[in-house]
A and B are shown apart, each in its own frame.
Chain A
C-alpha cells in the first residue's frame, strides 16, 4: 500500500463521505490542536483516559495537561513533547470528526493505526529499508552538507532514498566516495512552491536512467528513448509527490511544478546543493539533489 493523505484514507475506507471530508478539510485552519487528541495520536493516552479528563474538565477549571499529569496519565516530559511538536493535520482532521460526532476517540485511534500501517512500506523494499536505518544513513551522509540538520532537507533525502529502494532497486546504497561529476550528466529537475520553495533534481548517465526506467516501469526498455525519459521523469514526480504527502500531513503545503529534462546547453546550477546524494545503482551512480528555499538559475 502506498502513501496517501489521512483524509483520502478515511474516504476510501468509508469512514467519511466526500461532503463530510470536504467540509472538515475546509475547517482545518480554524481549529487548534487539543492536547487530548495529540496525546492519543502519540500513544501516550488511551481513548478512555482522554474521555475521563474531558469529563473532569467540565467540573474543574483546570487545563487538560494539568489534569492528565495529576492523574498520572501524562508525564511532564510527554506534555512538553506534545506542546513543542509540529502541527499535525492528521490530528486536526480527527479532532474535527470527533467533535462533529462522526468518529469516537476509539474510532479515531483505530483509523489512525490502520492508516499508519497502510501508509507504511510494505513492498519488497520494506525489509531493506528496515535493515538499513535509512534516516541514520541519510543524516550521516548529509553531515557537512548545507542541508545537514535541516528537517525538510533530511526528510526529502530520506523519501528519495526510500523511493529508490522501494521502486527501483532494493539493494541501492549510498556511495560516499563517488566523484562529483553530476553536472555533466543527463538531468531531470522539478520545482516545488508553496510554504517552502524547493528545487529538486536527479542526474546520471543515460545508461543509469535507462536501467532505472526499466526497473521502475517494469516495461521492456532497451535504450534511453522517449519511454525511458518519461519513466525516469515520472519517478522523480512520484518521489516528490510522496514527499508532498508527508509534508501536507504536517501542515506544509507544496505545489509541484511539472518535472522536466534539461536539454540543450542548460545545466544544473553551479551553486552547491543543500542535499547531494550519490546513490549506487546497478549501472552506476544516480545523483539526487535539493536546493532549499531558493530557486537557483540554470547555468
Chain B
C-alpha cells in the first residue's frame, strides 16, 4: 500500500538513516531518499518532491527546523515529520508552529512509523 510513495530521511547519523530506511523498506515504501543534513534535505526535496520527509531537529549546519522552513517556503503542502531523541515542550511547539505535520520521538519503532505514514498518506486512523 505504501509502495507508490517516496520518503526522504534526513538525519546526520548514518545509523539512524539506516535504521529508518530498514523500517520503511520493510513496510513496503517504494522509494527512500537520504539526506545527511538540512542543506541536502532541501536540495533533495526540491528535486524529487518526496511524499513525506522525516527530519531530524539537531543537525550540524542547517538545522532541521531551518530546513523545514525552506521546504515549506518552497512547497506549502510539504508533509514534514520532525524527529528527535530529545522531547522537550519547546521542540514540540517549535516543530508544530513551523508547519511540521507531526513530531516523532526516536528511537523509531516500526509500528509507530508505519501507523503514522498510513494516517498521513492514506487517511487511516487505527
CB pair A3–B87 under 8 Å, yes or no, is yes
Give the A-binding residues of B (Cβ under 8 A): 13-16, 18-19, 58, 60, 84-90, 92-93, 96-97, 101-103, 105-107, 109, 112, 116, 125
In the complex, the 7 A-B pairs of residues with the closest C-beta atoms, listed nearest first? A241-B85, A245-B87, A230-B15, A231-B15, A4-B105, A25-B93, A256-B86
A244 in contact (CB, < 8 A)? yes
Chain A neighbourhood of B109, CB < 8 A: 1-2
A25 and B87: CB pair below 8 A? no
Q: Which residues of A contact B85 (CB under 8 A)?
A: 234, 237-238, 240-242, 256
Q: State the Cβ distance, A21 to closest chain B Cβ, in Å.
A: 6
**Interface residue ranges of A57-101 to B (CB < 8 Å):** 89
Q: How many residues of A contact B (CB 8 A)?
A: 42
Contact A233:B18 (CB < 8 A) given known A8-B87, A26-B93, A238-B85:
no
A227 to chain B, nearest CB (A): 6
Residue of A26, A213, A248 near B88 (CB, 8 A) is A248
Complex formed: what's the CA distance from A253 to B16 in Å? Answer: 24
Query: With A22-B96, A253-B89 given, can you name 15 additional A-B contacts, CB distance below 8 Å?
Result: A1-B109, A8-B105, A11-B102, A25-B89, A227-B18, A230-B14, A231-B15, A241-B85, A241-B105, A245-B86, A248-B88, A253-B90, A254-B86, A254-B88, A256-B58
A residues at B contact (CB < 8 Å): 1-5, 7-8, 11-12, 14, 18-19, 21-22, 25-26, 28, 89, 167, 194, 213, 217, 219, 226-227, 230-231, 233-234, 237-238, 240-242, 244-245, 248, 253-256, 258
List residues of chain B with CB within 8 A of the CB of A167: 107
